[in-house]
Structure 1
Amino acid sequence: MSTRARPIATRLASDPPFAVAYRLPSDSLSAGRAREALRHQLHIWCIAGEPACSAELLLSELVTNAVRAQAPPAPEIGVRFTLSDGLLRLEVRDASDELPVVNQAEEDEECGRGLVLVDALASGWGVDRDGIGKIVWAELAVSDASAPRPPLSAPHRP
Structure 2
Amino acid sequence: MTSTAVHTRTTVSHRALAAGTEVSIKRDPASTPDRLTEADAAWPARLRRIVRAALKYWRRADLAETVELLTTELLTNALRHGTGPDVGYRLSLRDDQLLIEVRDGSPAVPELRHATPYDENGRGLFIVDAMADAWGVSPDGTTTWCSLSLRKGPDDPMQPTAATAPVLREYRRIGLPAEPIAIRRVRTAAPTALLFLGWHGDQHAAVEVLTCLVDNALAYGVEGDTSGEPITVRLAVTERSELIIDVEDPNPKFPHFADAQDAEAGTGLWMAQSRRRAEVSWFLRPDGQGKTVRAVMTPGEVEP
TM-score tier after normalising by the smaller chain length: 0.7 to 0.9
For 1:23, the equivalent position in structure 2 comes to 24
TM-score normalised by the chain length of structure 1? 0.78
Task: Mark the runs of 5 or more structure 2 residues left unpaired by the alignment.
Answer: 1-14, 28-39, 169-196, 204-304
Provide the secondary structure at the position in 1 that maps to 2:144.
strand
Q: Secondary structure of 1:106's match? A: coil
CA distance in 1, matches of 2:57, 2:16: 17
**Matched letter for residue 102 of structure 2:** V
Matched residue, 1:106? 116
> Percent identical across equivalent pairs?
34
Question: 1:149 Cα deviation (Å)?
Answer: 3.0
149 and 86 in structure 1: CA distance in 2 versus 1, 3 angstrom threshold:
farther
Relative to structure 1, the CA distance from residue 16 to residue 138 in structure 2 (aligned partners, 3 Å threshold; closer, same or farther) is closer
The answer for the alignment partner of 2:135 in structure 1 is 125
Please say if 1:115 is aligned against 2:125: yes
Write the distance in 2 (CA, Å) between the matches of 1:84 and 1:111: 31
Distance 1:17 1:151 in 2: 25
Q: Which amino acid aligns with 1:137?
A: W
CA distance in 1, matches of 2:85, 2:142: 15
* SS of residue matched to 1:62: helix
> In terms of mean alpha carbon deviation, does 102-111 or 142-151 score higher?
142-151
Q: Is the 1:69–1:98 Cα contact (8 Å) retained in structure 2?
A: no
Query: Aligned partners of 2:139, 2:90: CA distance in 1, in Å?
Result: 15
Q: Distance in 1 between matches of 2:82 and 2:96?
A: 32
Whichever residue aligns with residue 133 of structure 2, its letter is: S
**Cross-structure match for 2:147:** 139
1:48 to 37, 61, 66: 61
Distance 2:68 2:54 in 1: 11
Partner of 2:105: 95
Where 1:17 maps in the other structure, the secondary structure is strand
Shift, 1:145, TM fit: 2.7
Greater relative contact order structure (CA < 8 Å, 6+ sep): 1
| TM-score, scaled relative to structure 2 | 0.42
> Whole-Å Cα distance in 2 between the matches of residues 123 and 83 of structure 1?
14
Query: Judging changes above 3 Å, is the alpha-carbon distance between structure 1 residues 15 and 149 closer, same or farther for their aligned structure 2 residues?
Result: farther
C-alpha deviation, 1:15, in angstroms: 6.7
User: Partner of 2:154: helix, strand, or coil?
Assistant: helix
Rg larger for: 2
Following TM superposition, by how much is the alpha carbon of 1:43 offset from its aligned partner in structure 2, in angstroms?
Answer: 1.0
Q: Is the 8 A contact 1:79 1:91 kept in 2?
A: yes
Aligned-residue offset at 1:129: 3.9
Work out whether residues 66 and 77 of structure 1, in 8 Å CA contact, stay in contact via their aligned partners in 2: yes
Counterpart amino acid of residue 26 in structure 2: P
SS of the counterpart of 2:119? Answer: coil
Deviates more, 1:147-156 or 1:54-63: 147-156
- Quick check: 2:17–2:95 contact (8 Å CA) kept in 1? no
